[in-house]
Amino acid sequence: MRKYLLSTSALAGAALLSSAAVADVSISGEAEFSYAATDHSTAVNDGNIMSSVQEVHISFTNKTDSGLTITAQNQFNTIGGGSDDVSFAVEGGFGKLVFGQTDGVGSTYEMNPLGLLAEEEAGVLNSGGAALTTTATIGTSTSTGTANGTSKVSYHLPAMGGLTAGVTVSTQATEVGTDDQTMFGAKYALEAGGAAVTLGYATTTTEVADAVDTDVTSMGIQVVHGNISFAAADGQYTAADEDRSTQSAAIKYDMGNGLTVGYGTVQSEDDLDVGEEYTANHYEASYAVASGLTAVLNVSDFDYKVATSTHENGSSAINQNGTTTSLTIKAAF
């Protein structure tokens, strides 16, 4: 009898221990397959290409007796074989703390108009071997240079009416170098004339050893009224020998029956390299074939002009332009 009671007590204790550690588990995923045909002024980028991406997302959520919500996010690229977003968060009345290798508050609070589009081709800048993608800012994202592989800690304030805000601090895993990053961001949402209006601002500063720090700032607005969504933003990027300004805008219209059309445009120029300019236009049609299955047709054209003055990349910089037509099949699970 005593042995039975001990066994029963042990089982009860194990049950209590396991119940305290049990969390809600969510498993989801997404996959994309794309075929793109590019007509490019540079031969190395001219031609057709197929590509695919597939990810698995696993999240754990646990609520403590004190009212805290603890969430762990794990996103894995099953084709590339690496992690995309691995972090955990603690949320309560004080706000929300996020730790790990994930995006900072820049991606949360910035207003990136191209985000209205399901897919967009930025255009590839290449001189036949020497990539020139650093010569122009082709978006207004403040996440520039903040790869998910860098550990960060972020704090989001509790929402105060329509105002939300946060800060991120990031550093490398070793003490070598001075590439620490600091991000600030805020959004304000309101109703105006039957439309949902959101204002966004974000800024990122990256320390650079023995050189000028890199600063990226984005501010913009998004308006949603019925089936129409519109967004516009202005971005600034300053670094050693760089003073780029970027303006972007996009509009999306939901036509019903699963069909959505959109248009986005970007223009970027560097004030320190006179004449350097990048422009791009994106035209898109997205159709929901079935629940979790979407087909996206995108046509993008871009034009890049080198600086009339001496460019930091020297004589390798060349004028470039091109058009990419792509069909992407997206599946969500």
pLDDT confidence of residue 127: 46
Residue where the block lists tokens 């001990």: 6
pLDDT confidence of residue 99: 96
**Helix, coil or strand: residue 96:** strand
What pairing do the DSSP bridges indicate for beta strands 163-170 and 320-332? Answer: unpaired
Distance CA 275, CA 289 (A): 44
182 within some domain: yes
170 within some domain: yes
Can you give the residue range of the structural domain that contains 246?
24-332
6 within some domain: no
204 within some domain: yes
In order along its 333 residues, the chain shows pLDDT tens digits of 333 333 444 444 444 444 455 689 999 999 999 999 989 888 877 889 898 989 999 999 999 999 999 999 999 988 877 777 899 999 999 999 999 988 889 888 988 888 888 876 655 555 444 344 444 454 555 554 444 457 899 999 999 999 999 999 988 655 555 668 899 999 999 999 899 999 999 998 888 877 788 888 889 999 999 999 999 999 888 888 778 888 889 999 999 999 999 999 988 888 887 778 888 899 999 999 999 999 999 999 888 887 776 555 555 567 888 898 999 999 999
pLDDT confidence of residue 149: 56
59 within some domain: yes
13 within some domain: no
Q: What is the DSSP letter of 157?
A: P
Give Cβ neighbours of residue 256 (< 8 Å, ≥ 6 apart). 227
pLDDT confidence of residue 14: 42
Distance CA 135, CA 121 (A): 17
144 within some domain: yes
9 within some domain: no
Whether pTM > 0.75 for this model: the answer is yes
Structural domain tally of the chain? 1
Neighbouring C-beta atoms of residue 321, cutoff 10 Å: 15
Phi first, then psi, for residue 194 (nearest 5°) are 80, 5
Give Cβ neighbours of residue 193 (< 8 Å, ≥ 6 apart). 225
pLDDT confidence of residue 299: 93
pLDDT confidence of residue 34: 92
Q: What is the DSSP letter of 309?
A: S
CATH number at residue 108: 2.40.160.10
Strands (E), 173-292: 181-192, 195-206, 214-225, 228-239, 242-256, 259-270, 277-290
